[in-house]
Amino acid sequence: MSPQEAQKILEEADLLCSAEESALAVRRVAAEIAARLADANPLVLAVMGGAVVFTGQLLPQLAFPLDFDYLHVTRYGDVTTGGKLSWIVEPRSAVAGRVVLVVDDILDEGVTMAEIARRLRTQGASEVLSAVFADKNLGRSKPIAADFVGVHLPNRYVFGYGMDVRGAWRNLPAVYAVKGL
């Protein structure tokens, strides 16, 4: 997508969650995580690449000992609908016997997060929790519910705060919905 096309998408988009609302949501989620995990020495795993923004804002607010690593798994690649799950990078850190907190940008259909949690449990994690910046309301049940949620969004094509539209705008401090979708 050209810079001009990306700019046009942003100019026509609907603002769903302002930068201020996003920052407040992250602070609230950090407090909830701290209340639950401050004494657990958890392993925090960021799901690349969407979780970069949320994780980068969240970690400095978790004032307790933790270990950090990442994983990269996707069902989307360069398309907008989920397909076959692909593991690109496994966590380097051992998860056996650990409380693991998986951090991601959005819980959409929940298939990817459910598979990540299943795999971590299979590898011996004592507990697997998830924190997502956004939970999309699909109007139907999902195979997993996030333990910590920043914001709830309508069932629209959203971007910003780690979520992209055709590769663009992950870097926005707010969340937008593509006009008409």
- Give pLDDT tens digits for 62-96: 999 999 999 999 765 555 555 678 889 989 999 99
Domain-wise residue ranges, the chain: 18-158
- Mean pLDDT to the nearest integer, 100-121: 95
The per-residue b/e assignment along 76-100, b for 16 or more CB within 10 angstroms, e otherwise, is eeeeeeeeeeeeeeebeeebeebbb
Q: What is the CATH number of domain 18-158?
A: 3.40.50.2020
Cα 105 to Cα 5, 51, 171, 173: the distances in Å are 24, 5, 12, 13
Q: Is the pTM of this model over 0.85?
A: yes
Handedness of CA 10, 107, 136, 62 (dihedral sign): negative
